[in-house]
């Protein structure tokens, strides 16, 4: 009898957001079960407050649980929760060991990275990119008698405490959420997803002038913030640069109240999609498993742009064509796509 279920997803922002339909499906199939999610501590705001979860367990691989000794202690503490089953949605070496050391009887995952530690496995074929990531998540749930739903409903909780913190940041910038604005997220973890900084700037300037909106730039810290500074250097309007200043909870509120979100293929793109924000995403690489067939935004107000430049095989970040697929996406293409969302400026 399954009474306590653990789902693990310790990778990135978008992966966690795209896993949220799993929790609602589990709650529907096992309404009285105790359902928990184990995620990276940096992603806590993506799940805390999710109505389909009884607990969010945080794993801090970068700091608190960096050593194998601390990971073993983490697994030992997890053992006391007496989970009946764990589903590892992402094939991760440490998570497989944690599941095993925690003594969870039924351990479900993909047949890679120490899969001998699992009891139920499937081959990992996500790299083929034949379906969307949200659909792939349900492959492993077959072992729990949970079918693929007819519709993927993403969920992103909004915490009032995060709203208060965001309002404090905006007050320091002499801005408020009741003013019309759009959000641009120009940075990315890989150069194969980076559209030109000057083109982001031009789109922002045009929308600022034509629609009377403030442009807000967002990004993480470090190199992400540096790229955002490049965009800022090209802009002639008066954008608000919040790169490196927002938690994920604060970003969620900023996205929710925005008129439009423009982004590359990124985690915040999936956050905006979960909130049904009007968004235009810019995709470059078309390598199986990396393109929009697997990673496109799922929101009802979402759309994306991608250009086919005739590559026989996509080399992704090792491209020797100067990322021609991204270069072929012009400012006019993005503006044309935005016209499909033009009603959002009339609200």
CA atoms 93, 98, 100, 106: torsion sign: negative
Q: Supply φ then ψ for residue 287, to 5 degrees.
A: -70, 135
- What's the rounded mean pLDDT across residues 317-322? 65
- For residue 181, being part of any structural domain is answered with yes
Residue 344 has pLDDT above 60, yes or no: no
Q: What is the DSSP string of 271-288?
A: HHHHTT--EEEE-----T
Mean pLDDT of all residues in 118-125:
96
Which of 144, 175, 203 is a domain's end point? 144
Same domain, 131 and 35: yes
**Distance of alpha carbon 35 from alpha carbon 16, whole angstroms:** 15
Q: What is the mean pLDDT of residues 35-39?
A: 98
15 shares a domain with 116 = yes
Q: What pLDDT, on a 0 to 100 scale, did the predictor assign at position 325? A: 84
Q: Which domain holds residue 113?
A: 4-144
pLDDT at 323: 67
137 and 170: one domain? no
Asked whether residue 153 is assigned to any structural domain, the reply reads: no
Q: Categorize the per-residue pLDDT at 225 as very low, low, confident or very high, splitting at 50, 70 and 90.
A: confident
Q: pTM of the prediction?
A: 0.95
For residues 211 and 308, membership in a common domain is answered with yes
167 and 303 part of one domain? yes
131-161: per-residue pLDDT in tens?
A: 999 999 999 999 999 999 999 999 999 999 9
Looking at residue 315, what is its pLDDT?
60
The tally of domains found in the chain comes to 2
Burial class of residue 162 (count of CB atoms within 10 Å of its CB; 0-12, 13-18, 19+): buried
Q: How confident is the model at residue 116 (pLDDT cuts 50, 70, 90)?
A: very high
Looking at the domain assignment, is residue 152 inside a domain? no
Q: Region 32-42: what's the mean pLDDT? A: 97
Quick one: 129 and 50 in the same domain?
yes
Whether 23 and 126 map to the same domain: the answer is yes
Residue 235 pLDDT grade (very low, low, confident, very high; cuts 50, 70, 90): very high
Check whether residue 177 and residue 87 sit in a common domain. no
pLDDT at 310: 67
73 in a structural domain = yes
**DSSP states of 86-118:** EEESS--HHHHHHHHHTT-SEEEEESSSSGGG-
Contact 127, 133 (CB under 8 A): no
Strands (DSSP E) found in the chain = 4-9, 34-40, 55-59, 85-88, 106-110, 120-122, 181-185, 214-217, 240-241, 261-264, 279-282, 302-305
Question: Of 42-56, 79-93, 222-236, which gets the smallest average pLDDT?
Answer: 222-236
332 domain-assigned:
yes
Token code pair at residue 87: 């589903």
CATH number of residue 191's parent domain: 3.40.50.2000
Alpha-carbon distance of 139 to 121, in angstroms, equals 10
DSSP 209: H
Q: Smallest Cα–Cα separation from 155: which of 53, 289, 301?
A: 53
- The residue from 118, 144, 170 where one domain ends is 144
Reply yes or no on whether the pLDDT at 49 is more than 90.
yes
Tell whether the model's pLDDT for residue 64 goes beyond 70. Answer: yes
Q: Is residue 117 in a domain?
A: yes
Residues 89 and 114 in one domain: yes
Scored b (16 or more CB within 10 A) or e, 232-257 reads beebeeebbbbbebbbbbbbbbbbbb
Looking at the fold, whether 116 and 67 belong to one and the same domain comes out as yes
Q: What is the pLDDT of residue 319?
A: 62
Do 140 and 166 fall into the same domain?
no
Asked whether residue 251 falls in the same domain as residue 336, the answer is: yes
Q: 150 in a domain, yes or no?
A: no
C-alpha distances in Å from residue 238, one per residue of 172, 212, 251, 315: 16, 11, 20, 37
Residue 247 lies in a domain: yes
């Amino acid at each position: 009898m399954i009474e306590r279920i653990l789902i693990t997803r310790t990778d990135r922002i978008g992966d966690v957001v795209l896993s949220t339909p799993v929790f609602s499906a589990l709650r529907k199939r096992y309404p009285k079960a105790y359902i928990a999610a184990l995620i990276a501590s940096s992603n806590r705001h993506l799940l805390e407050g999710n109505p389909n979860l009884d607990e969010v367990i945080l794993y801090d691989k970068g700091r608190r649980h960096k050593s194998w000794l601390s990971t073993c202690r983490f697994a030992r503490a997890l053992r006391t929760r007496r989970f009946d089953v764990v589903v590892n949605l992402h094939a991760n070496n440490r998570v497989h060991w944690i599941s095993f050391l925690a003594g969870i009887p039924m351990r479900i995952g993909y047949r890679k990275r120490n899969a001998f530690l699992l009891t139920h496995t499937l081959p990992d074929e996500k790299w083929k990119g034949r379906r969307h990531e949200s659909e792939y998540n349900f492959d492993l749930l077959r072992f729990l008698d949970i079918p693929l739903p007819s519709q993927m409903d993403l969920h992103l909780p909004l915490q009032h405490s995060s709203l208060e913190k965001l309002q404090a940041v905006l007050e320091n910038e002499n801005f408020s959420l009741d003013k019309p604005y759009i959000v641009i997220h120009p940075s990315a973890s890989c150069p194969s997803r980076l559209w030109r900084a000057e083109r982001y700037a031009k789109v922002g300037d045009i929308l600022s002038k034509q629609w009377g909106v403030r442009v807000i730039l967002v990004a993480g810290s470090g190199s992400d913030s540096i790229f955002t500074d490049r965009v800022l250097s090209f802009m002639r309007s008066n954008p608000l640069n919040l790169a490196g200043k927002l938690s994920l909870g604060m970003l969620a509120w900023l996205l929710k109240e925005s008129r439009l979100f423009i982004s590359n293929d990124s985690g915040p793109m999936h956050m905006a999609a979960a909130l049904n924000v009007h968004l235009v995403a810019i995709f470059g690489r078309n390598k199986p498993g990396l393109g929009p067939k697997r990673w496109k935004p799922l929101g009802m107000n979402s759309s994306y742009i991608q250009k086919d430049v005739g590559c026989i095989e996509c080399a992704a970040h090792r491209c020797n064509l100067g990322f021609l697929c991204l270069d072929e996406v012009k400012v006019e293409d993005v503006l044309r796509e935005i016209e499909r969302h033009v009603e959002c400026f009339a609200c």
